[in-house]
Amino acid sequence: MKSTLICVAATIFALMTVPLQMAAQEEHAKYHHYKLVDLGTFGGPDSTIFGGTGNFNNLGMATSCATTSVLDPNYPNINPYFMAQGDSYIQHTFRWRDGVLSNLGTLAGGTSSCGQWISETGLIVGGSTNGLIDPQLGVPEVRATFWLGDKPFDLGTLGGNESVAFAVSNFGEVAGGAANNIADSNATFFFPSATQVHATIWRNGAIQDLHTLGEGTDSMAYFGNDRGQVAGMSFTDNTINSTTGLPTTDIFLWENGKMFDLGTLGGVFSSLNALNNRGQIAGFYCFAVTPVISEGDCPGVMTEHPVLGDRTGMKDLGTFGGDNGNAISLNDRGQVVGRADFPGDVIHHAFIWQDGVKTDLGTVDGDPCSVGRGINSRGQAVGVSTDCHGNVLHLFLWDRGSILNLSGLILPGSNVTFDDPQFINDRGEIAGNGVLPNGDQHAVVLIPCDENHLDVDGCDYNFVDATSIAGAPQVVVRTFVNESDARTFGLRSRVHERLVPGRGFTGVGPSNNY
């Protein structure tokens, strides 16, 4: 009798679960539209959201910089910190919130500024000119700047002329770097300065020198979290390596007054792209192999592998059988998104790594290559699907185990073509950059037309069947002349971009390889 009851119960359960499974499959196949919002400018041609983890928060607030209609009176004699933005116009830090773009201005006497990070509590940090000319560089000085509300505050230096703030915690602790007064020619790798630059943290209005690793002369802090940890890069010695043109450069994690060297896994250069609140760091390390096929993120001619690290060291996340890969973004669950090569180093796919398992996200609609850019705490990821040679063919959204043509989910009606997704926050909002028909670049945000975003003007709340967007028209985007130009576009200026004469901070930067 007991077995009969069990069989009957099992049968009833099976019959009940069939419609549930069918409903789940039906729901899985349907997705929301996205409304594209052009953040605009302050009267000039361009605005930008730099990639990384700090320019767009989970409340849908963004910061970076937008051009005004006024030409910079110092142009072309501009601090390379702003040359990276590529404009001769004065540019100001913006805060975008609830559809409103606010101009946060500059320090007293300054002309240009740019925001690098916005906390969940709305605190903004970055850099601003201060009206003075750096007597050693001959360009306007840039100072680390903290915006409390709409008011900017100069965070000072370590005795030199330059400083910058790259990250701020929800508690107001600021990470960045500042110059001292000791002459040094290698400091420009981290920030324009004729003197040494050291990683710094600002707490309660006081600046603290985090110093460097080993015998290194320079360092920079790019990330901070709510545990009081700071992550960045440091030279470890003063010997110039023939492959990089730099001293050995390691990732560090600083906490409780101590700087931990995460190493380079046998190479001479490692770099980071993200720090989470668990103290994990995502990035890449560089090493020489024969034959060498460089993806360009490494200085000199080397190959790279994605890494995940913490204060105990780093682990190589590997590739799909090729030479190159990069860990580009990281969430608080320890999920990493990036890209990795297949044998031959021509084809690369986006991946998500978690707990030792690397999942190939594939591409959209038969495109050969893809790159993962951002990931939120729900495991949703965004990136680009490309031809492997600098042409973005589709944008993608990874959601519920499937790669989707994000381009086909964007509602028509805007004259901005979104072609550079950088972030996805926990509300599913996506931020990045788009291009106007005349070539101007504007920062944009995609807002999902879902139950968490009701009454958004212009939203279509009908579901989209995933099969209907699989073969949607390809994105019409700018075509890059070469791979170097592709890498330079949309660079995350907050992360270790190397100073190249006449071009600003480009070259060693992030991991936007197409």
Task: Specify the CATH number for the domain of residue 402.
Answer: 2.130.10.150
Nearest Cα residue to 228 out of 253, 191, 196? 253
Rounded CA gap, 512 and 338, in Å? Answer: 9
Comparing 4-8, 44-48, 111-115, 224-228, the range with the smallest average pLDDT is: 4-8
In a domain, 204, yes or no: yes
- Of residues 374 and 466, which shows the higher confidence score? 374
The two tokens of residue 347 are 């084809």
Q: What's the pLDDT at 467?
A: 73
The two tokens of residue 44 are 């000039």
- Of residues 84 and 201, which shows the higher confidence score? 201
In a domain, 497, yes or no: yes
In DSSP notation, 162-227 reads -EEEEEE-TTS-EEEEEEEEEE-SSGGGTSS-SEEEEEEEEETTEEEEEE-STT-S-EEEEEE-TT
- Evaluate the CA torsion angle 432, 435, 436, 442 in order and state its sign: positive
Amino acid at 464: V
CA–CA distances in Å: residue 351 to residues 154, 272, 285, 360, 381: 40, 17, 17, 5, 10
Rounded CA gap, 27 and 463, in Å? Answer: 9
The two tokens of residue 214 are 């080993």
pTM: 0.88
The two tokens of residue 337 are 């998104």
Sheet holding 357-362, edge to edge: 325-330, 336-341, 348-354, 357-362
pLDDT in tens, 19-54: 433 333 444 468 999 999 999 999 999 999 976 679
Average pLDDT over residues 389-397: 91
| 3-class DSSP assignment, residue 412 | coil
pLDDT in tens, 419-442: 999 999 999 999 999 999 999 999
Rounded CA gap, 336 and 328, in Å? Answer: 7
Q: What is the DSSP letter of 264?
A: -
Q: What's the pLDDT at 11?
A: 39
In a domain, 512, yes or no: no
Rounded CA gap, 50 and 375, in Å? Answer: 15
86 pLDDT band, cuts 50/70/90, is low
Q: Which residue has the tokens 């879902």?
A: 450
In a domain, 3, yes or no: no
In a domain, 25, yes or no: no
| 3-class DSSP assignment, residue 80 | helix
In a domain, 18, yes or no: no
Q: Does 380 score more than 60 pLDDT?
A: yes
The residues near 458 (Cβ < 8 Å, ≥ 6 apart) are 35, 411, 413
In a domain, 268, yes or no: yes
- Of residues 480 and 413, which shows the higher confidence score? 413
User: What whole-number percentage of the chain has pLDDT above 90?
Assistant: 72
For the chain, the straight-line distance linking the first and the last C-alpha, in angstroms and rounded, comes to 65
**Cβ atoms of residues 112 and 72 within 8 Å:** yes
List 93's β-bridge partners, or say none: 65
**How many structural domains are present in the chain?**
1
| 3-class DSSP assignment, residue 131 | strand
Domain residues for the domain of 197 are 32-505
In a domain, 10, yes or no: no
**Cβ atoms of residues 62 and 443 within 8 Å:** yes
**Cβ atoms of residues 369 and 391 within 8 Å:** no
Q: How many residues does the chain have?
A: 514
Q: What's the pLDDT at 477?
A: 52
Amino acid at 116: Q
The two tokens of residue 484 are 């170097």
Rounded CA gap, 504 and 88, in Å? Answer: 13
List 102's β-bridge partners, or say none: 95
Nearest Cα residue to 249 out of 269, 231, 272? 269
Q: Give Dmax over CA atoms of the chain in angstroms.
A: 94
C-beta atoms surrounding 214 within 10 Å: 14
